[in-house]
Structure 1
Amino acid sequence: MSKIGIVAALAAAALTLAACGSSGSTEPGGGSGTAEAKTLTLWHYEGATSAMGVAWADAIKQFEASHPNVKVKFEEKGFEQIQKTAGMVLGSDQAPDLMEYNKGNATAGLLSKQGLLTDLSGEVAKRGWDKLLSPSLQTTARYDDRGVMGSGKWFGVPNYAEYVMVYYNKDAFEKQGITVPTTYDEFTAALDKFVKAGITPIAVGGAEYPAQQIMYQLALSKAQRPWVDAFQLYKGKTDFHGPEFTYGATTFADWVKKGYISKDSAGIKAEDMGVSFISGKFPIMVSGSWWYGRMSSEIKDFKWGTFLWPGNQLSAGSSGNLWVVPEKSKNKDLAYDFIDITMKKDIQNKLGNAGGVPVAADPSAITDEKNKELIENFNKLSAQDGLAFYPDWPAPGYYDTMVAGVQELINGSKAPDKVLDELAQPYNDNLADIGN
């Protein structure tokens, strides 16, 4: 789930924009058979300095150069804004031609089931995008008639991958005499050492996605692939009071009590979490590869690095967010052309060199050693079938349920078993709705 560059407090009116371009289909190449100017309306929520923002800005330039009669009207939206309003906007005449959207059953799957997204299966085969994406990366692009990912038609195309890792301040680690942990016990020993020195070790954003991903990482430490498939793909029954979620919730609450996580973090947004790590306030941040480019460009006062969550075979991660073409897009062929450009080697290489995780880059073209490490760690996870998706995916509205539940763990307002009851209810209600 990529969230950097969230635009805070955008007016609701920003969602309304004049319909652009002519109706009906256009010729690939920007309608070269006519002098009529067209507009491709594009929405995404990646910051300008993020790896995706850098690569896609270049893709816009390439698109306009190859489509001389077309102007790209790019509008940066907030992740939360699109998350909450996509169904309403895409059902209206104000839908963009192409947009970045969160993948998973609760998001892209729900919109596909509602008939709001274009079936891209024909374009995928025609343009060979399926040849560029491994089976694990294709999981989030395809949805069946129930809106469940992993099979069925293509309703989106990812052009990057992502995973959750541990960012760390090398200077802070060296000052405390801490080496990079390779086991879970070494990790908690490092956290204890920071607490003993009067330092809260982990920057956390409890008001948005980051805190729930920490709880999920803890649950995954006790999980195997069948558990993930049951929870995410409905290939079995999920027991919310089984060892996986019980360990995740109780240990997360325990981490707050131990001082690993601040009791004030329930109200912190992801952006503020990231800024606090970048400024050196916290020595550790657990979050996704979508932050990597920004860390590279903004951290000036200390050395930093990353490592995979110690001891886990499974980690939150997947393909990146999807390019989706709304069913009401007025320029679908242009949208397909733009997606195609983002899948080409030069844009993929730029994404990798900017600190992203490309899906179709030339490995020899990635020149930065830290970026190579980022991609190698992803490849390691992917090779061991370690991508476990994200905890908020399985059911519509589950993101807000997860945020609220983890906030209760941070505040201590509810016991872990009660929080797990709250997580189970909407999940099981959704299973009933889709006939599982």
Structure 2
Amino acid sequence: MFTMRTGAAVLAATVMLAALAACGGDGQEGAEPAASGPRTLKLWHYESADGAMGKAWAEAIKQFEATHPGVKVQFEEKAFEQIRQSAGMILNSDEAPDVMEYNKGNATAGLLSKQGLLTDLSAEAAKRGWDKLLSPSLQTTAKYDDRGVMGSGKWFGIPNYAEYVMVYYNKDLFEKHKVEVPTTFEQFTAAMDTFAKAGVTPLAVGGAEYPAQQIFYQLALSKAQRPWVDGFQLYKGKVDFHGPEFTYAAETTADWVKKGYIAKDSAGIKAEDMGLSFIGGKYPMVVTGSWWYGRFATDIKDFEWGSFLWPGNTLHAGSSGNIWVVPENAKNKDLAYDFIDITMKKEIQNLLGNSGGIPVAADPAAITDPKSKELIENFTKLSTADGLAFYPDWPAPGYYDVLVAGVQNLINGAKKPAEVLDELAAPYEENLADIGD
């Protein structure tokens, strides 16, 4: 998701990293500590404290400090946007953390791996058995080739939870307006029409960040098959941005605004405010990821809620969760590996699962919370049916911002669908030319 730097800048970064590595003290096995005395593990992630992953990682920090006497964890919670916008610059400095949660995909982890800013974790994955704990589909976002394309090559990240996009709904509002939970796309649009005609905007939407583009992508996936996803995400074939998939997504998004399913002013709403509006009972539905599940379970007090898969789709936005990465400039890589290992332990994974997250290495029998079991079962259905289609911003560096702007233009009516699709196509094609495909 970051702008590609010039070849000269990349070369300079590579030279600097090589010089730093030659000086030692990076915490790798066999290297001398940079200084005597207490050591510190510098950890960054962007999970909320009351979310499933936040709870699990807090417990992992406790276990890490208990098993590493004299080592303190210096944890800094960063906003998703903070890390997204500044990761390349921070990791190319001596301010890099030792371990960091980072977004997966070609445009993010793939780009940084290509630039030499991430540590190759292949040896640790084999040594610690992470390669056995993670299924092949989950390993897709862990490995990147020399071009920065996911799915093969070296391990540059470790996913420790999974995720997918679904529809959350307010059961009280559904009952009040006599709306049944939809099982087909036609029933879904009919439900939204019922709310809209009653003066209630059906969908809470955050157009200023990722949520609106995920609705756009779900609409495209409703007309797509696996070869289209592989072409778009893995560059295995030509993508026609004016083909039926993206054309339907763009035209339907604009149409939903006209019909009152999506509020026009949602173009300026951020994800956090979108989630809070649903928690506050203001909207019947919100389309977003499983990462909100634990927080909704904790924070929604005034109404009953549930969730369902986007009706009618065989393909859904989803994948492994974000990944732990170890910056090449990390000073304590050995400690970083130990922390990652703790997050993969069954005790931590079970806690994550019972808190509303989707674990990748839990004991299924240990997941006792009914809502959590439903969440995990739905993910299992998608995963076993090859129904995970990744996320729309992954294919090209800087594509997240391109999609945000494009979908905002669809919501506020600033541009026609065909014009937006032209703007989505240009940077995608430029990236293909850059990587030589």
User: Could you state the TM-score of these two structures normalised by the residue count of structure 1?
Assistant: 0.93
> How far off is 1:178 after superposition?
1.2
Q: Give the corresponding residue for 2:138.
A: 137
2: CA distance, partners of 1:129 / 1:97: 19
How do 1:130-209 residues align onto structure 2 when only pairs under 5 Å count?
130-209=131-210
Structure 1 moving runs of 4+ over 6 Å: none
1:23 aligns with 2:32: no
Report the counterpart of residue 403 of structure 1 in structure 2: 404
SS in structure 2 of the partner of residue 42 of structure 1: strand
Give the secondary structure class of the aligned counterpart of 1:318.
strand
Shift of 1:25: 2.6
1:278-317 mapped onto 2 (5 Å cutoff)? 278-317=279-318
Q: What are the superposed Cα offsets for residues 59-115 of structure 1, whole Å, 9 maximum, x if unpaired?
A: 000000000121000000111111011000000011000000000000000000000
TM-score normalised over the length of structure 2: 0.93
Taking the aligned partners of 1:36 and 1:48, their CA distance within structure 2 comes to 30
Alignment deviations for residues 371-393 of structure 1 (CA, whole Å, 9 cap, x no partner): 10000000000011011000011
TM-superposed deviation, 1:244: 0.4
**Matching residue's letter, 2:345:** K
Q: Cα distance 1:412–1:60, how it changes in 2: closer, same or farther (>3 A)?
A: same
Q: Distance in 2 between matches of 1:274 and 1:417?
A: 30
**1:198: how far off?**
0.9
- Corresponding position: 1:376 with 2:377: yes
Secondary structure class of the residue paired with 1:400: helix
Residue in structure 2 matched with residue 52 of structure 1 by the alignment: 53
Partners in 1 of 2:225 and 2:107 — Cα distance? 22
Number of equivalenced pairs: 413
1:352-380 CA-to-partner distances (Å, cap 9, x unmatched) read: 00100000111111111111000000000
CA distance in 2, matches of 1:378, 1:214: 18
Contact kept? 2:52, 2:353, Cα under 8 Å? yes
Find the counterpart in structure 1 of residue 424 from structure 2.
Answer: 423
Q: 1:36 deviation in Å?
A: 2.8
8 Å CA contact 2:206–2:212 kept in 1: the answer is yes
Residues 26 and 330 of structure 2 are in contact (CA less than 8 Å); yes or no, is this contact kept in structure 1? no
The correspondence of residues 301-340 of structure 1 with structure 2, limited to 5 A, is 301-340=302-341
How many angstroms apart in 2 are the aligned matches of 1:329 and 1:367? 38
Q: Match for residue 12 of structure 1? A: none
* Contact residue 35 and residue 69 of structure 1 kept, 8 A: no
Matched, 1:39 2:40: yes
Please give the root-mean-square deviation of Cα atoms over the aligned residues, in Å. 1.5
Secondary structure in structure 2 of the residue aligned to 1:172: helix
Unaligned 5+ runs, structure 1:
2-21
Identity of aligned residues (%): 78
Query: Aligned with 1:167: secondary structure?
Result: strand
Partner of 2:362: 361
Partner of 1:341: 342
Residue 175 (structure 1) shift = 1.1
Report what 2:101 is aligned to: 100
What amino acid does structure 1 have at the position aligned with 2:393? D
AA of the residue aligned to 1:331: N
DSSP-derived class of the 1:140 partner: coil
Amino acid in structure 2 at the alignment position of 1:110 = L
- State the one-letter code of the partner of 1:434: I
Indicate conservation of the 8 Å contact 2:46/2:78, yes or no: yes
Q: CA deviation at 1:312?
A: 0.3
Deviation at 1:315, TM superposition (A): 0.4
Q: Aligned letter for 1:37? A: P
User: What's the offset of the Cα at 1:149?
Assistant: 0.4
Is the Cα–Cα contact under 8 Å of residues 166 and 289 in structure 2 kept in the other structure? Answer: yes
* Whole-Å separation in 1 of the counterparts to 2:140 and 2:65: 31
Aligned match of 2:127? 126
Structure 2 residue runs without a partner (length 5+): 2-23
**Counterparts of 1:304 and 1:361, CA distance in 2:** 26
